[in-house]
Structures are given as C-alpha cells and as structure tokens.
Amino acid sequence: MSSLSCGIVGLPNVGKSTIFSALTNVAAESANYPFTTIEPNIAVVDIPDDRLTKLHTLLNSKKNIPTSLKFVDIAGLVKGASKGEGLGNKFLASIREVDAIAHVLRCFEGNTTHVLGAVDPIRDLEIINLELAISDLQILEKRLTKLEKIKKSGDREAIKEYEIVETISQLLNENKNINLKRDFSVNDLDIVKKLNLISIKPTMYVLNYGSEAVNKEEIDRLKDIIAKKNGSFIEIYGLLEKEIKDLDDNEKKLFLDEYEIEETGLKILIRKAYSILDLVTFYTADENETRAWSITNNSKAPIAAGKIHSDFEKGFIRAEIIEYKNYILFGSEEAAKNKGVMRSEGKEYIIKDGDIVHFRYNL
C-alpha cells in the first residue's frame, strides 16, 4: 500500500529542507542560499501511534506495523514561477503530484537571506498562493478551450464539466478559496478531482519560528488572514527541532520546555495532515501482526477491507468490530467477544476511528 504524500512548499530559503530533515530520518541539504533544493527530497515516515503501541504490547504480536506518510521537500517557488521563472514549471509539477500541502512561511528574523529582502510572511503567503492559482488557471483555460469544441456537439458531460471549470476559474480569478463541500455537489466532485488542481489540495500553513522571532502583532495578523481563508496552520521551530533531533529524550525535553513546545513538530504535523486529508485510523490485530491502516473518514467496511487486499473487498462478508477502548478494557478479542462488545457489521457499516477490525470474506 502506498502512503499518502505531503509536499513541503514555499518561497526559497524559508526553511523547508530544514523542516524536512527535522521530521524525517533523511538528511536534506539546507544552506543559506536560495534554490539549495532542486530535485525533491523524499522520505517515508512511520506515524507514531500510541494506540498501536498499546495494542502491540497487549497482544505481543510478532510484527508491529504503523501507517506512514510520505514527505516531499520541493524546491522553492518564486514570483513568476507559473510563467516558468526559476524552473517554476518543474517545481509546480512536483506539487501537483502530492496529496496534501504544507506551506512553509518564514516567521524568523536573523541573517538568513530572504529572496525578497525583508521578512514578511503575509506577503510571502500571497505570492505563493497567487503562483499556485495562476498555474491552475492555465490548466483550466486549456481545458475550457478543449471543452468548447466538444460541447458544440451537445455532449452532456462536456457541458457539465464546462460549467464546473468556469465556476472554479471564476473563484480563482477573484482570489477566493474553493470549498469543495460548499461549491460543488457530490456528483460533481469526481469531475473536479480529475482536474488535479493545486488550489483544492488540502493545505496547512506551517509557521516556521526561530530563536529570533518575527514580532507578535505580525504573527497575529498572519493568523487572522489564514483564518479568513478558512485555512489551518501549525507552528514549529524547524531549525531547533533539526538540531535536537538526535539528543536523548531527557535532553530533548529540556530544550522543548525552554521554548514551551509541548509536542514535536512531527506529531503536530501528522495530526494536522490527518485532519486536512480527513483520515481515520483502524487496526487489525492478531498474534502475528498488529497493524494500523489509514482510510478516508466515512468509508464503508468493504473499502477498508480493500485497503488490505482487493480480494477482501470483492469477497467481503462482514466485519467484526471491537472499539479500541473495549479491546484495551477486556484485553483480548476473545474476552471482548465474551463480554458481548464485539459487533458483527455488514457492508454498509462505516469504519470509525480506532476500530479494531476482523474482516470475514469469501475468496
């Protein structure tokens, strides 16, 4: 099963590769000059999961397999990227391939060169979003030209898609954000998704702090602007986290306490990624293997079975479900079953976060 991917995006020299190295076990080159990164750095990270650890300890199974998230550290975009400036098209193509975007904003002062002179995260945010929108508009314009020809023949699907493409173009041209649930019916969503636009990818802003912080009023204004866009953000100290990464837990804690950081950037980012991608985790567990699986929220049981093996989806009979808290409370599948808290669910059942699932299927 391939992992979902999160692209690290932003202007050059804002600390993207530093954050990438802090979050993953892969070292990426970071240096005080723009365009240090050209080819994307890629790392797959196991998702830390306390529930999985507990289940594994309880069952003492041979294998313990967490889910994973792929991070892609993409080269910096500059003004004009959508017109090819600074290898922009190549970098935009990398962004188009990821499932979610972590948009890094430099919120630290200091000697690090800023491609635009002064540090100004609000300006930076608008520049990047404008480039992403223009890049999408170019795709939409090409599509409109093509659809115009097809729809002359009265092709219903082309007419429908034309309407959708026009709606999105208008929103982007007016610098409005696109809200899939608000702007489109469920039936239209497939058409929208096929366009593979960057502007509709789940996005989080990453406020990247350093020891020399940008002033608080500026940060508050930035947060207001993100809120107005219905966006979400996380706050991390990229460089600090990279530097303390290899310390032992006690030493690490001292540093984190000093900066009043309660949780590592990795955990914060993963939680946010799960929320913007609208994912939940379910588990399979036996003496052989305890394993976590991520799945889109509101998925039905056969879809979950299909995550494990496509044959399980085809041959799905039922799913036996124990809620996490009951599994831990009674200590085993057998005990939970005897206490009557194992439920048998059919193909309409919607998998809940934390379900421990035993699929029954016919091959």
Ligand X SMILES: Nc1nc2c(ncn2[C@@H]2O[C@H](COP(=O)(O)OP(=O)(O)OP(=O)(O)O)[C@@H](O)[C@H]2O)c(=O)[nH]1
Interface contacts to Mg ion, rule CB under 5 A? 16-17, 36-37
Do 229 and 177 touch, CB atoms closer than 8 A? Answer: yes
- CB of 8 vs Mg ion, minimal distance in Å: 8
Do 283 and 293 touch, CB atoms closer than 8 A? Answer: yes
Instruction: Collapse the DSSP code of 260 into the 3-class scheme (helix H, G, I; strand E, B; otherwise coil) and give the result.
Output: coil
- CB of 22 vs ligand X, minimal distance in Å: 9
Among 26, 35, 90, 233, binds ligand X (CB under 6 A): 35
DSSP letters, 309-324, are -HHHHHTEEEEEEEEH
- CB of 72 vs ligand X, minimal distance in Å: 12
Among 3, 5, 26, 34, binds ligand X (CB under 6 A): 34
User: Which residues between 183 and 212 bind ligand X (CB under 6 A)?
Assistant: 210
If binding is defined by CB under 6 A, does position 41 make contact with ligand X? no
Closest by CA to 7, choosing from 107, 94, 101, is 101
Angle 263-265-271 from CA coordinates, rounded to 5°: 80
- CB of 264 vs ligand X, minimal distance in Å: 15
User: Which residues between 232 and 291 bind ligand X (CB under 6 A)?
Assistant: 238-239
Give the x-and-dash track for 92-121 against ligand X (CB under 6 A): ----------------x-x-x---------
Q: Which residue is nearest to ligand X (CB)?
A: 210
- CB of 201 vs ligand X, minimal distance in Å: 19
- CB of 231 vs ligand X, minimal distance in Å: 20
User: Which residues between 310 and 339 bind ligand X (CB under 6 A)?
Assistant: none
Closest by CA to 144, choosing from 168, 120, 174, is 168
| Number of residues forming the site for ligand X (CB under 6 A) | 22
Among 4, 18, 205, 349, binds ligand X (CB under 6 A): 18
Among 7, 16, 66, 67, binds ligand X (CB under 6 A): 16
User: Which residues between 76 and 95 bind ligand X (CB under 6 A)?
Assistant: 76
Do 334 and 58 touch, CB atoms closer than 8 A? Answer: no
- Which of residues 11 and 292 has its CB atom nearest to ligand X in the complex? 11
Instruction: Collapse the DSSP code of 100 into the 3-class scheme (helix H, G, I; strand E, B; otherwise coil) and give the result.
Output: strand
Determine if residue 71 is left, alpha or beta; phi over 0 gives left, psi from -120 to 50 gives alpha, anything else beta: beta
- CB of 37 vs ligand X, minimal distance in Å: 3
Which residues have CB under 8 Å from 233's CB, separation 6+?
204, 205, 206, 207, 223, 226
Specify the stretch interacting with ligand X by CB under 6 A; choose among 11-19, 58-66, 164-172, 348-356. Answer: 11-19
CA 165, distance to chain mean position in Å, is 25
- CB of 274 vs ligand X, minimal distance in Å: 24
Among 17, 64, 290, 326, binds ligand X (CB under 6 A): 17
Which listed option, ligand X, Mg ion, none, makes contact with residue 7 (CB within 5 to 8 Å by class)? none
| CA dist 291 → 12, 62, 160, 298, 300 (Å) | 38, 11, 42, 20, 19
Which listed option, Mg ion, ligand X, none, makes contact with residue 15 (CB within 5 to 8 Å by class)? ligand X
Which residues have CB under 8 Å from 320's CB, separation 6+?
342, 343, 344, 345, 357, 358, 359, 360
Among 24, 30, 82, 199, binds ligand X (CB under 6 A): 30
Say how far apart CA 304 and CA 358 lie, in whole Å.
Answer: 11
What's the farthest any 2 CA atoms get from each other in the chain? 70
E runs forming strands in the chain = 4-9, 41-46, 63-65, 68-73, 100-106, 203-208, 232-236, 279-285, 289-296, 316-323, 343-345, 355-361
Which listed option, Mg ion, ligand X, none, makes contact with residue 110 (CB within 5 to 8 Å by class)? ligand X
> What does the binding site for ligand X look like in residue numbers (CB under 6 A)?
12-18, 30-32, 34-37, 75-76, 108, 110, 112, 210, 238-239
